[in-house]
Amino acid sequence: MARKTAKAVDGPADRSSEDGTAPGGSFRIGAHAVEARPLQPGLHLVATPIGNLGDITIRALETLAAADIIACEDTRVSRVLLDRYGISTRPYAYHEHNADRVGPKLMAALEAGRSVALISDAGTPLVSDPGYRLAQSAIEAGLPVVPVPGASAPMAALVASGLPSDAFLFAGFLPGKDKARRERLGQFAATDATLMFFESPNRIAATLKSAAEVLGAERAAAVCRELTKAYEEVRRGTLGALADHYADGNVRGEIVLVIGPGSVPPPSDEDVDGLLARLVSELPAGKAATEAARLTGLPRKDLYQRLLSLKGDPADAPSAKGKP
What confidence tens digit (pLDDT) does each residue in 81-100 have?
999 999 999 999 999 899 99
In this predicted structure, the answer to whether residue 1 has a pLDDT above a threshold of 50 is no
SS3 299: coil
pLDDT for residue 272: 86
SS3 235: strand
Identify the band that residue 18 occupies on the pLDDT scale cut at 50, 70 and 90: very low
Identify the band that residue 321 occupies on the pLDDT scale cut at 50, 70 and 90: very low
Identify the band that residue 23 occupies on the pLDDT scale cut at 50, 70 and 90: low
In this predicted structure, the answer to whether residue 318 has a pLDDT above a threshold of 80 is no
Residue 171: other Cβ atoms inside 10 A: 15
- State mean pLDDT over 105-124: 96
Could you tell me which residues come within 8 angstroms of residue 268 by beta carbon, excluding any fewer than 6 positions away?
none
pLDDT for residue 24: 65
pLDDT-above-70 percentage for the chain: 86
- State mean pLDDT over 140-166: 96
Instruction: State the chain's mean pLDDT as an integer.
Output: 87
Task: Specify burial of residue 222 (Cβ count, 10 A radius: 0-12, 13-18, 19+).
Answer: buried
End-to-end, the C-alpha distance of the chain in Å comes to 64
In this predicted structure, the answer to whether residue 108 has a pLDDT above a threshold of 50 is yes
